[in-house]
Amino acid sequence: MTGPEMPAAWRTAPNGRRRARGLRLALPGIPGPFNAITDVAGVEVGVTTLVRGDGPCIAGRGPVRTGVTAILPRGRPGIATPVLAGTAMLNGNGELTGSWWIEETGRCELAITITNTHSLGTARDATLKWAARSGRMSPGQDWGLPVAAETYDGFLNDINGFHIHDEHVFAALDGAEGGPAPTGSVGGGTGMICYGFKGGTGGASRRVAAAGGSWTVATLVQANFGRTEELTILGVPVGARLAADARAGATATGGAGSVIVVVATDAPLLPHQLKRLARRVPLGLARTGTIGHHSSGDVFLAFTTANAAATVPAEGPIALAMLPEESLDPLFGAVVECVEEAVLDVLFANSDMTGVDGRTVRALPHDPVLELLAAAGRLAG
């Protein structure tokens, strides 16, 4: 779908920047209304973005370029009801709290938060405080093991100043909503770098048919990974050309960083099937060129909003629905497409940022990239 037929949310991010589809990239698949993780009914996203100060880095004072992203799988009304979930990992230089409990029980509790590496504990603990004080703990228990994830923003942010506090996490949780999802240098993605250009937060969704039903698969990505020369867009090695062109303004990050991907669906899947979805995330990342560097933490979580009865106390057997294993290929394909598109949206729907010590990270330059894609026939008519 192109031109005026394309929904506005597919073309333009909430920050006003053009998304990949709005720049006519010939991306596969049919997204949901917002082309975001919030296309899965009930999922809400909130962000707190902290940008203040300029000049030399003074620990504890800034400059500050960081934030928190919160994902509520069932929204605030359903926060006390866990979701079935599974996790996977490509390279382990990262952290995902609560992952052992997900591995043990196949369920993810409370909210999911993503922030910078040194604020992970604050995000986790503040989520528990938020839930405990408001009576949002899971039924029958007064404890929780929420998921918090991280990527490193220390090139632009005073990361050792520990600027994320409880109130910032509370604000992201309380501000979570459906509709168009925040994109670009927002929330936990505020200070991130991707393929040497401004990274951050992105997302995408797909409508798929499987096992006689229609389902939504969607992703939210916090992208902070890759070297410029690796960047590949729709099969075109644009990064090699950009790395050779000093005017492109790429930042030499050496591939350091990480990527967190959250996959959501409304398809009735069991935890082992959700783990299988999470394992397909690296295929989408690979389409954009990354090799999964030694210094990168590449960690993934997949959850479903279906089968709510499986996660609440019961006195007898519980009947669950599940898609047959042989019907999962369309969902696997949707994960790969959504991850690829989410990373591209991070890059395209972004802007330059200057942070600590005057360091500047440029946004991906549209004109030279679009010229290369047009020459390769990768733009829609």
* pLDDT in the model for residue 253: 64
For residue 204, give Cα distances in angstroms to 23, 310, 369.
Answer: 15, 27, 21
Query: Which among 296, 327, 329, 357 is annotated as catalytic?
Result: 296
Instruction: Give the per-residue pLDDT at 254.
Output: 62
pLDDT in tens, 231-268: 999 999 999 999 887 556 677 666 668 999 999 999 99
The yes-or-no answer on residue 174 being catalytic is no
The pTM (predicted TM-score) of the whole model is 0.96
Q: Residue 136: its pLDDT value, please?
A: 83
Q: Tell me the residue type at 250.
A: A
Tokens of 69: 């992203």
Give the residue extent of every domain in the chain: 3-312+320-369
pLDDT 10s digits, 67-84: 999 999 999 999 999 999
Query: What Å distances lie between residue 70 and 48, 60, 186, CA to CA?
Result: 9, 24, 11
Residue count (the chain): 381
Instruction: Say if CB 150 and CB 94 are below 8 A apart.
Output: yes
The CATH number given to 3-312+320-369 is 3.60.70.12
In order of 21, 139, 145, 269, the CA distances from 314 in angstroms are 46, 11, 21, 20
pLDDT at 174 over 90: yes
The amino acid at residue 111 is A
Does 298 participate in catalysis according to the annotation?
yes
Residue 226: which of 208, 204, 253, 246 has the closest Cα? Answer: 253
Q: How confident is the model at residue 2 (pLDDT cuts 50, 70, 90)?
A: low
Contact 292, 89 (CB under 8 A): no
Residue type, 171: A
Q: Which parts of the chain fold into alpha helices (H)?
A: 8-11, 99-105, 120-133, 166-174, 238-243, 271-279, 281-287, 329-348, 366-375
Active-site annotation holder among 39, 158, 298, 345: 298
Catalytic residue among 153, 258, 266, 345: 258
Q: Residue 24: which residues within 8 A CB-CB, separation 6 or more?
A: 2, 370, 379, 380
Provide the pLDDT for residue 250.
72
Active site residue 185: no
Q: What is the mean pLDDT of residues 199-212?
A: 98
1 band by pLDDT with thresholds 50, 70 and 90? low
- Determine contact, residues 161/64, Cβ cutoff 8 Å: yes
Which two tokens mark 334? 């949707």
pLDDT, tens digit, 9 for 90 and up, residues 123-171: 999 999 999 988 888 777 888 999 999 999 999 999 999 999 999 999 9
